[in-house]
Amino acid sequence: MSEENPSLVPLPGHLYVVATPIGNTADVSTRSTSILSKVDLIACEDTRTSGMLFARLGIKRPLIAYHDRNERKAAASLVERLQSGESIALVSDAGTPAISDPGFRIVRECRRANVPVVPIPGPCAFVTLLSVSGLPSDSFLYVGFLPPKSAARRRFLEEHKEFERTVIVYESCHRIEKFMAEMEDVLGLDRVICIGRELTKKFETIHSGTIGDIKPLFEQGSKKGEFVVIIAPKSFEL
Ligand code: SAM
């Protein structure tokens, strides 16, 4: 009789921080499916969004909401449940929890209370794009979402105009055109960037080149969906 790989079975009183696909359901790992199928409880950023993924994967575990609005309160009660011996998985709507998503607070509370926290790694949008960008990936600054106000974003770009490391930004479909224009204004047409849209999904689009090269392609393409933007170090040339 073969024994089950112990890393596929959740332990009592452990928090599992589980990455989920950023679009393509086939990117879910064997280990994440196994842990999610066996924990006592899954804390989700949005129980409806995760519920749809779990329905496709045949995962039927109790779900509880853990999001920006209830993070502080929910973190304390989840730690109590972990201390009483329940195994809990934390997922966000897509990708890796705590990366521009809720998660940091519960992990911090677990660490303060000596509750074991186990990473179950998987997709993350910026790592996905960085790995295929052809831009320097040895040292980078990940900033997540820039402030919504144009003046603040321009200030950030001014501050990083001469930066000699790669900069990575998350952007929504509502602001991507504005951000492209801001990058052109502040960084100039010769700065090398990489833009990834709808990564791992049907309409995945990746452009790598100078802002001047990418501009016409970007203008012709759809602006719907989710975007990651990577800005190369100042002196980088393709
Ligand atoms: N936790 C996620 C991760 O590990 O990447 C990030 C969540 S954050 C709330 C959502 C942002 O991530 C989107 O606005 C977009 O900038 C980026 N993103 C997520 N999925 C993406 C995808 N499939 N293609 C491009 N960008 C994506």
Assign 1 a pLDDT band (cuts: 50, 70, 90).
low
Contact predicate 29/122, CB 8 Å: yes
* Residue 100 in contact with ligand 1 by CB distance below 6 A: yes
Q: CB under 8 Å to 32, separation ≥6 — which residues? A: 18, 19, 20, 120, 122
The whole-number average pLDDT for the span 94-119 is 97
Residue 95 beta carbon below 6 angstroms from any ligand 1 atom: yes
- Average of per-residue pLDDT across 30-53: 98
143 Cα–ligand 1 center, Å:
13
Q: How far is the CA of 84 from the centre of ligand 1 (A)?
A: 34
Length of the chain: 238
Ligand 1 atom with least separation from CA of 125: 5
Query: How does the average pLDDT of the chain come out, rounded?
Result: 96
Instruction: Give the tens place of pLDDT for each residue, 84-98.
Output: 999 999 999 999 999
Residue 43 phi, psi (nearest 5): -90, 120
- Kindly report, residue by residue over 136-175, the tens digit of the pLDDT: 999 999 999 999 999 999 999 999 999 999 999 999 999 9
Residue 125 CB–ligand 1 contact under 6 Å: yes
End-to-end CA distance of the chain: 55
